Amino acid sequence: AELDTLDLVVLAAILLGTLAYFTKGTYWGVVKDPYANAFANANGAKAGRTRNIVEKMDESSKNCVIFYGSQTGTAEDYASRLAKEGKGRFGLETMVADLEEYDFDNLDTLPADKVVMFVLATYGEGEPTDNAVEFYEFITADDVALSEGGDPALGNLNYVAFGLGNNTYEHYNSMVRNVDKALQKLGAHRIGDAGEGDDGAGTMEEDFLAWKDPMWAALVTKMGLEEREAVYEPTFDIVDRDNLTRDSPEVYLGEPNKMHLDGTAKGPFNAHNPYIAPIVDSRELFAAKDRNCIHMDIDVSGSNLAYQTGDHIAIWPTNPGEEVDRFLDVIGLTAKRDNVISVKALEPTAKVPFPTPTTFDAIVRYHLEICAPVSRQFVSTLAAFAPTDDIKAEMSRLGNDKDYFQQKTSPHFYNIARLLAAVGKGEKWTNIPFSAFIEGLTKLQPRYYSISSSSLVQPKKISITAVVESQMIPARDEPFRGVATNYLMALKQKQNGDPNPEPFGGSYELDGPRNKYDGIHVPVHVRHSNFKLPSDPAKPIIMIGPGTGVAPFRGFVQERAKQARDGVDVGRTLLFFGCRKRAEDFMYESEWEDCKKALGDKFEMVTAFSREGGKKVYVQHRLKERAKEVNELLTQKAFFYVCGDAANMAREVNTVLAQIIAEGRGVSEQKGEEVVKHMRSANQYQEDVW
């Protein structure tokens, strides 16, 4: 008998289905794996994914989307926590979304029975985070281009807002404030207050926790929700891959994406795709034995990475082995550390934050921020998995009582493993689902450094100047140490063949996954900044850079010295630098002298040594002593730059400058403040502070 058309269609469908089944994990895996193609990732244009949020929510049956604008991972982490809590406590169908991955012109078609949450960090001088730039420009535009554009345009939109900011910066939490204002203007309805977390006061986590409870209460009323007993539901499935070992070529051992795994890494190099750069030189800048500051030259000539004087370089650290061991030990995974697993999202909108199949060791070493301070909310979550009832009671108390938590944890600088070990008193925490750590810990973040070289002088060699984070804390018999700076220090020690590398530093896996970083390499990318020299080199500049704050000014002065040598007319170049003692931590002393030879009287370095005389002298005092000249230079449109400590120095310099202007021009201090504000908005006053 002949096959008729219907039979053919059915047969073809069966064949295709079979083929698809057998090729699953090879062809499909490639298409679906977000780490497969760093180009797509880099551009936020993930293959086959919709940018239509209304459609996305419909097809995945969601009624609550939590958008985040995040630079260092905290806002993203808070967004995940809200999603988890909304689902666990109130049965909301939540999803988390990166602002960069959606369009917003159809927000007005989102039905009123859905809710949109915004968790928005403010970056630098009141700027949106990189992933929120487009959204911010869209929503704050004078003429917001919505698809249907009824009146009020967003009358159907119910939203919730929380901002992450730092009160030591001029434009405190301006992202959430401006977005909130813009949404209100468009007729959207806010549920609860717009929350504001303050990193400057060190209260971010507590501000978030204090904000969210009344917000949930308001949301419950508004949307008619019912609270239920929250039970933990994992977001990720951890699947054993018994057929694979850590030596199988498809297993990720810390490689950030598929190209790195295959050894075909190529640009563009960016926040999703680092360049494994050779370190050509590294050395110590301080003479003092108890403090370290590292100068490093990183060669980017093998890549298409480019930078401009004043930009930032991001260093992708790995966690120290000592802390990786501690972490795996306390949760009872030491014996299984090299077991191969795949991590699968249990619901379609969740994203696995690293590529798999991989090992527990690689996840903990390369992808999770295991050394960071512990979140009180996470302690609450983990209480359910305590090894004994006593330990559970203590964990719950820590999780629920803000003051008790503060008193018990902050003197110790606990990270999660140290806290679990201390509370567990020797018991292992073997009941915690590994998914909880992937959900509850931030993704390991690159650290930024102000590039301390000039792109005119060394376009393919990026310098950094980093002070090593190490502080003795009374509650502990060893110092607290920062992740990235001790990683850099370990690299420096290795490069210089240090016969007795510091044991902690020695525990870093410096050769990287599969020895791919061998021969002293470090993963990096470049982030462009607005901290820039005037385009006209004849303009005078005033720079304030105590300590490592001098980093970008090494680049600025290098650049001007080269211009002077090349016969360019260079303006007055005045640098205020401060440190403890000339003989101890005065960085780059001989280099400044070389620049002086090139620049002559154009260049002057004013120094403040805080521990040399009886009275402590800081850069702001020296600035005041030079009031007359500073005011004169400003009237000649000098650019004014501040770099370094955001908490105190930058603020005091601002105040002193306002006084200088007030006195010099015979106006009130208030007027002086206004002049400085005006300079800021005209980019005549620029800050690079952290």
CB of 248 to ligand FAD, least distance (A): 32
Residue 595 is a catalytic residue: no
The answer for residues whose C-beta is within 8 angstroms of residue 635's C-beta and 6 or more apart is: none
CB of 212 to ligand FAD, least distance (A): 22
Contact set for ligand FAD, span 519-578 (CB under 6 A) = 548, 551
The type of residue at 464 is I
Residue 579 is a catalytic residue: no
Closer to ligand FAD by Cβ: residue 548 or 607: 548
Alpha-helix runs per DSSP H in 263-316: none
Whether residue 576 contacts residue 544, with contact meaning beta carbons closer than 8 Å, is answered with: yes
Asked if 467 is part of the footprint of ligand FAD (rule: CB under 6 A), the reply reads yes
Whether residue 166 contacts residue 204, with contact meaning beta carbons closer than 8 Å, is answered with: no
Q: Which stretch binds ligand FAD (CB under 6 A): 212-220, 236-244, 409-417, 507-515?
A: 409-417
Q: Which stretch binds ligand FAD (CB under 6 A): 428-436, 442-450, 507-515, 659-667?
A: 442-450
Q: Which residues pair with 574 in a beta bridge?
A: 542, 604
The answer for residues whose C-beta is within 8 angstroms of residue 474's C-beta and 6 or more apart is: 411
CB of 652 to ligand FAD, least distance (A): 19
Whether residue 496 contacts residue 283, with contact meaning beta carbons closer than 8 Å, is answered with: yes
Contact pick of 303, 465, 573, 654 for ligand FAD (by CB under 6 A): 465
HSE-up (13 A, CA, CB side) for residue 290: 3
Closer to ligand FAD by Cβ: residue 237 or 322: 322
Whether residue 312 contacts residue 450, with contact meaning beta carbons closer than 8 Å, is answered with: yes
Q: Which two tokens stand for residue 132?
A: 């929120």
Asked if 415 is part of the footprint of ligand FAD (rule: CB under 6 A), the reply reads yes
CB of 111 to ligand FAD, least distance (A): 40
Closest C-alpha to 158, from 210, 215, 83: 215
CB under 8 Å, gap of 24 or more: what pairs does 247-252 form?
Answer: 248/340, 248/357, 250/357, 251/340, 251/357, 251/358, 251/359, 252/354, 252/355, 252/356, 252/357, 252/358, 252/362, 252/513
> Hunting for tokens 């510091």 — which residue is that?
502
Residue 690 is a catalytic residue: yes
Closest C-alpha to 543, from 366, 337, 687: 687
| Active-site entry in 450, 452, 453, 455 | 450
Closer to ligand FAD by Cβ: residue 216 or 690: 690
Asked if 422 is part of the footprint of ligand FAD (rule: CB under 6 A), the reply reads no
Contact pick of 93, 469, 502, 612 for ligand FAD (by CB under 6 A): 469
Asked if 313 is part of the footprint of ligand FAD (rule: CB under 6 A), the reply reads no
Q: Which residue is nearest to ligand FAD (CB)?
A: 482
Residue 512, φ and ψ in degrees, nearest 5: 70, 180
Q: Which stretch binds ligand FAD (CB under 6 A): 89-97, 443-451, 516-524, 593-601?
A: 443-451
Q: Which stretch binds ligand FAD (CB under 6 A): 6-14, 483-491, 497-505, 625-633?
A: 483-491
CB of 222 to ligand FAD, least distance (A): 37
CB of 586 to ligand FAD, least distance (A): 16
CB of 486 to ligand FAD, least distance (A): 6
Contact pick of 453, 485, 493, 507 for ligand FAD (by CB under 6 A): 485
Q: Kindly determine how many residues on this chain lie close enough to bind ligand FAD according to the rule CB under 6 A.
A: 22
Task: Tell me the longest C-alpha to C-alpha distance in the chain.
Answer: 107
Altogether, the residues listed in the chain come to a count of 690
Angle between helices 376-383 and 416-424 (to 10 degrees): 50
Asked if 312 is part of the footprint of ligand FAD (rule: CB under 6 A), the reply reads yes
Closer to ligand FAD by Cβ: residue 95 or 619: 619
Alpha carbon distance 335, 242 (integer Å): 15
Residue 216 is a catalytic residue: no
Binding mask 339-378 for ligand FAD (x = CB under 6 A): --------------------------------xxx-----
Burial of 129 (0-12, 13-18, 19+ CB in 10 A): buried
The answer for residues whose C-beta is within 8 angstroms of residue 666's C-beta and 6 or more apart is: none
CB of 293 to ligand FAD, least distance (A): 8
Q: Which two tokens stand for residue 522?
A: 């470090």
Asked if 690 is part of the footprint of ligand FAD (rule: CB under 6 A), the reply reads yes
Active site residues: 450, 643, 688, 690
Interacting residues with ligand FAD (CB under 6 A):
312, 371-373, 413-415, 447-450, 465-467, 469, 482-485, 548, 551, 690
